Amino acid sequence: MLAISIAAAVTGLLLVVSVGLLSLRKRFGNRELQLIGESARVETTLKPDGTVIVAGELWPARSATGILISSRHRVRVVAIDNLSLIVDVCD
């Protein structure tokens, strides 16, 4: 009887952890989509890869056109590739 109770508790715990992890993954994915169209500031020069600060967070980024973009320039997030933001210079 004790073994059945322990097995049920472990199974329940694994289920709760799995659902929690899936929930976090879904929220993170939605956060990425919310960044498209946002303005950002180049932190480290994009040549074409570097970093930007958007919504107070540091993100890896790449210039959409491949041009060099110096630090402190304003850019706009136009897409996301894996966890890197694709950015273009603001007009």
Considering only residues 36 and 20, tell me which one the structure prediction assigns the higher pLDDT. 36
The answer to whether residue 22 is domain-embedded is no
CA-based angle 72:47:31, to the nearest 5? 65
71: in domain = yes
The pLDDT of 81-88, averaged and rounded, is 93
> Is residue 52 domain-resident?
yes
Query: Which residue range(s) make up the domain with 54?
Result: 36-89
CATH number of domain containing 74: 2.40.50.140
25 pLDDT more than 60 = no
Q: What is the mean pLDDT of the chain?
A: 85
pLDDT above 90: residue 65: yes
Q: Which of 25, 49, 30, 37 is nearest to 79 (CA)?
A: 37
For residue 26, the model assigns a pLDDT of: 43
Helix (H) or strand (E) holding 80: strand 74-81
Domain count, the chain: 1
d(CA 19, CA 50): 34
